[in-house]
Structure 1
Amino acid sequence: MSRAGWAIDIDRDDITRADLVEGVAAPLAPGQVRVHLDSYAMTANNITYAVFGKPAGLFGPDKNGRDQGYWDFFAERGEPGRLPVWGFATVTESAVDGVAVGDRYYGYYPMASDAVLTVGKAGPGGFTDVTPRRTTLPPIYNNYQRIEALADYRAADHNYWPVFRPLFLTGWLIADQFEDDGDYGAEQILIASASSKTAIGLGFSIAQRAGHRPETIGLTSKANVASLAEQGIYDRVIAYDDIMTLNPGTPSALVDMAGNGAVTRAVHSHFGHNLKASIIVGKSHWDADAGEAPLPGPERQGFFAPGRSQKRIADWGGAAFGQKIAEAWLGFMDVAPRLTAIDKRQGSEAALAAYHDMLAGRTDPKAGIVVEP
């Protein structure tokens, strides 16, 4: 075996502990490929992956009846966690017919310079990873798409794909769920952590709806109000401190992108029974008050993008689902460059620093961090 780049190991019980380690290039088994990561994004969504790295009831049991978490994508039980990231990679070694050295794929990779994937169902459009521990995990995470086969890929948007694509898709799916469920009877939708990229995807998607729709109100810190309002994503932007100025009699819904218990409690307490839905999406505020005490108003419900995707694929068919996503994505890409500036980081030390910066909340919400290993 020889040295092969680097990887970042994370303590499963304490996500603040992360170590840069040397990779090892073991010989490939038949059916495997080795890829080098060309670039990947570091966003608040990755912190949610770390928080829910250990089994958290999201994915159901594996074939042995054990519940699964995000660490199960790229690390065996008992090993340090490998954080999943979205990005592009190039095949550097292949033991698979139909996947050649030099082929490039968009997909889900470990936070590392290189990775080994087990290929199943290889075709012109890409392949599915069939590593045994991944076969019971949501398919959306296990599909690798050949860049040339992406109908809505444009070279000018390359850096925005890992930064926005999975988060925009989540926001779009939340907007779709609201419309599908009659907006839960809400006249306004409060979106907490409104500067996050998932929230921006949600706000943008709701704004594209034809006909009557609820008003969108972005909730953010006081320092971010003016700059976020200038982006024109939401109908209104207010500070968390000003939640109590909203009319408590207005039927409302809350979408919580960050899992900040204090904000959730303020909204629930203010609107009470006029809060028609309370949806939690992420947990980037991993160290904030979890707010586990009973709350006035509706029971909080989690949103799980892979589940919603699978429902819509069943409703519409895969081709129609893909076409709807492509149309929405290209519309968003027309405005994304004015919303976010790409912040490139290069090398292993920069990758580790980017993780710690995101974990500590030291990043600019208007920046999209792209790591080039």
Structure 2
Amino acid sequence: MENLILCHPRASSGQDPSQAIIVKCEVPQTIPNDHVLLEVDRFGFSANNVTYQALGEATHFRYFEFHHIPEAEGVSSKTHGVTPVWGFGTIIKSTHPKVHPGERVYGYFAPARYLLLQVSPDVNKYAFFVPRPHLPPDRRPYNQITRCAQDPLYDPSPTAEDLTMLYRPLFWTSFWCEDWLNSSNYKGGSAQILISSASSKTAFCLAYLIRKRNSLQGSSTRRVIGLTSTKNLAFTKRLALYDDVFDYESSDTSLVRNLAQGHWIYVDVAGNDALNARVRDHFRVCGDSELVTCISLGLTNVSASTIEPSSASWGFGSEAPQGDDPKLEHFFMPEWLAIRKQQLSVSAITQMQKEAWTRLMSDCGTWGVSLRRVCGPDQVKAAYEEIVRCGLAPEDAFVWSLCGETEECGSTAKL
């Protein structure tokens, strides 16, 4: 069997990191003990994956160290990296006594046809884990391979699997950030939240969760304002998840006029230093409004060609000096989740997540996101190159597969 894997040049190699390369290699016929070989049926691709690629060599994140890259002509682990993706697959071989062929699984995969993974001794009916001792312990959520048959959030329908790949990784970052702000009464529980890159899934899922908590509590405790680009303004307003939305270009005057009195928390999803400086300037001229903290939740404005490999080395609760107060704090979901696991039982966390996910699956159909399925190596490579040229529209979502080329996989559907 022939394997195919999508990879990209490392920025440190001096090559163009925006190139897409499909590497061919043989699938091992014999696999080591305590390993599984799975066929990756399909995987999601979004702005989140562009961020993974951009931070592939970043000291704190190290996304290129989750999966091995095959050695091939002109390609090696020193010159190229594999950008992780969230996807579904089926185990076709197993040498671990507790994991069986035929199982449907979901996890943090390589964009490949086939994937060989080691299985740690920590196996339960819900999941097994890939041992990655070279990475920090807080990466454990990324090492988990979910066994779909026992996953309380799993729905086997194709549409539900598509939604899972597109929303589940981003949604939990937003979910735990909102949980952190609410459960800790952070910074005195500021009632106004300003969010940049408001058209991104991470941002509008956070807005959705804040509004959902307001609704469930029968109050309007927190007001949420979005900032986005002019081209994404109409889509962001149609979401109806923000109390108001401003575009970056006019926000200098519009935002100042509309800043309510009181304390504000700014959640930076864009990762744009110039924009962050402008936001601070807005609050300096608003004497009745105070910006109490800036929280970094994403880097939607970075690309593999614009970030230095060492420019993003931070952790949860750390503060990066920006020259002006308040400083930028960086939220990293696995680290907060580790704290919550000390405060709550596993069953309580599971129930929280199940209730939130069920509501999301019911509500997200009104958001106007279209799904584009792409199958086959040439088609996937072309789709990636199109994203490099044209960018990603917020209403577009992608599900890719390197297995086969079917009519169904080339379709577009409304989610």
TM-score between both structures, scaled by the size of structure 1 = 0.89
Q: In the TM superposition, what is the alpha-carbon distance from 1:295 to its structure 2 partner? A: 4.3
- Residue in structure 1 matched with residue 370 of structure 2 by the alignment: 341
* Aligned-partner Cα distance in 2 for 1:295–1:214: 29
* Aligned-partner Cα distance in 1 for 2:276–2:246: 15
Aligned positions of 1:300-319 closer than 5 A: 300-319=328-347
- Which stretches in structure 2 are left out of the alignment for 5+ residues? 70-76, 312-319, 403-415
Contact map agreement 2:236 2:245 (CA 8 A) in 1: yes
Q: Does 1:9 align with 2:17?
A: no
Give the count of matched residue pairs. Answer: 361
Aligned positions of 1:199-238 closer than 5 A: 199-209=203-213, 210=217, 211-238=219-246
User: What SS is found at the alignment partner of 2:59?
Assistant: coil
Question: After alignment, is 91-100 or 142-151 more displaced?
Answer: 91-100
* Aligned-partner Cα distance in 2 for 1:123–1:181: 31
Please, which of 188, 194, 213 is the counterpart of residue 190 of structure 1? 194
User: What SS is found at the alignment partner of 1:174?
Assistant: helix
* Aligned-partner Cα distance in 1 for 2:209–2:343: 20
* Aligned-partner Cα distance in 2 for 1:128–1:175: 27
Contact map agreement 2:91 2:101 (CA 8 A) in 1: yes
* Aligned-partner Cα distance in 2 for 1:230–1:94: 47
Distance 1:307 1:368, change over 3 A: same
- Residue in structure 1 matched with residue 265 of structure 2 by the alignment: 253
Contact map agreement 1:269 1:296 (CA 8 A) in 2: no
Q: In the TM superposition, what is the alpha-carbon distance from 1:279 to its structure 2 partner? A: 1.1
Contact map agreement 1:42 1:355 (CA 8 A) in 2: no
- Residue in structure 2 matched with residue 65 of structure 1 by the alignment: none
Contact map agreement 2:44 2:165 (CA 8 A) in 1: yes
Please, which of 44, 48, 60 is the counterpart of residue 45 of structure 1? 48
Query: What is the CA deviation profile of residues 269-322 of structure 1, one whole-angstrom value per residue up to 9, with x for unaligned ones?
Result: 2114821111112223115799x9944331001110111111112211222112
Q: In the TM superposition, what is the alpha-carbon distance from 1:129 to its structure 2 partner? A: 0.9
* Aligned-partner Cα distance in 1 for 2:388–2:139: 25
Question: After alignment, is 166-175 or 205-214 more displaced?
Answer: 205-214
* Aligned-partner Cα distance in 2 for 1:24–1:137: 33
Please, which of 369, 392, 396 is the counterpart of residue 363 of structure 1? 392
* Aligned-partner Cα distance in 2 for 1:137–1:338: 35
* Aligned-partner Cα distance in 2 for 1:7–1:208: 40
Question: After alignment, is 345-354 or 217-226 more displaced?
Answer: 345-354
- Residue in structure 1 matched with residue 155 of structure 2 by the alignment: 154
Q: In the TM superposition, what is the alpha-carbon distance from 1:369 to its structure 2 partner? A: 0.8
Q: In the TM superposition, what is the alpha-carbon distance from 1:203 to its structure 2 partner? A: 0.8
* Aligned-partner Cα distance in 1 for 2:245–2:88: 34
Question: After alignment, is 191-200 or 130-139 more displaced?
Answer: 130-139
User: What SS is found at the alignment partner of 1:225?
Assistant: helix
Aligned positions of 1:127-138 closer than 5 A: 127-133=128-134, 136=137, 138=139
Distance 1:81 1:264, change over 3 A: same
- Residue in structure 2 matched with residue 276 of structure 1 by the alignment: 292
AA partner of residue 366 (structure 2):
R
User: What SS is found at the alignment partner of 2:123?
Assistant: strand
Counting aligned pairs with the same residue, the percent is 28
* Aligned-partner Cα distance in 1 for 2:27–2:132: 17
- Residue in structure 1 matched with residue 143 of structure 2 by the alignment: 142
- Residue in structure 2 matched with residue 115 of structure 1 by the alignment: 115
Structure 1 outlier segments of 4+, above 6 Å: none
- Residue in structure 2 matched with residue 164 of structure 1 by the alignment: 167
- Which stretches in structure 1 are left out of the alignment for 5+ residues? 59-68
User: What SS is found at the alignment partner of 2:119?
Assistant: strand
User: What SS is found at the alignment partner of 2:17?
Assistant: coil
Contact map agreement 1:43 1:358 (CA 8 A) in 2: no
Q: Does 1:326 align with 2:367?
A: no
Contact map agreement 1:5 1:22 (CA 8 A) in 2: yes
Query: What is the CA deviation profile of residues 235-275 of structure 1, one whole-angstrom value per residue up to 9, with x for unaligned ones?
Result: 11111123222245552221111212222121112114821
Distance 1:193 1:358, change over 3 A: farther
Distance 1:222 1:173, change over 3 A: same
Q: Does 1:31 align with 2:34?
A: yes
Distance 1:348 1:280, change over 3 A: same
Distance 1:356 1:315, change over 3 A: farther
Aligned positions of 1:70-149 closer than 5 A: 70-75=63-68, 78=78, 80-120=80-120, 121-133=122-134, 136=137, 138-149=139-150
AA partner of residue 27 (structure 2):
A
Question: After alignment, is 175-184 or 130-139 more displaced?
Answer: 130-139
* Aligned-partner Cα distance in 1 for 2:164–2:45: 12
Q: In the TM superposition, what is the alpha-carbon distance from 1:141 to its structure 2 partner? A: 0.5
Q: In the TM superposition, what is the alpha-carbon distance from 1:138 to its structure 2 partner? A: 1.2
AA partner of residue 372 (structure 1):
S
* Aligned-partner Cα distance in 2 for 1:134–1:201: 28
- Residue in structure 2 matched with residue 64 of structure 1 by the alignment: none
Q: In the TM superposition, what is the alpha-carbon distance from 1:213 to its structure 2 partner? A: 2.3
Question: After alignment, is 114-123 or 83-92 more displaced?
Answer: 114-123
TM-score between both structures, scaled by the size of structure 2 = 0.80
- Residue in structure 2 matched with residue 54 of structure 1 by the alignment: 57
* Aligned-partner Cα distance in 2 for 1:297–1:190: 17
Query: What is the CA deviation profile of residues 69-118 of structure 1, one whole-angstrom value per residue up to 9, with x for unaligned ones?
Result: 11111137636211111111111221111222211101110121211111
* Aligned-partner Cα distance in 2 for 1:78–1:216: 44
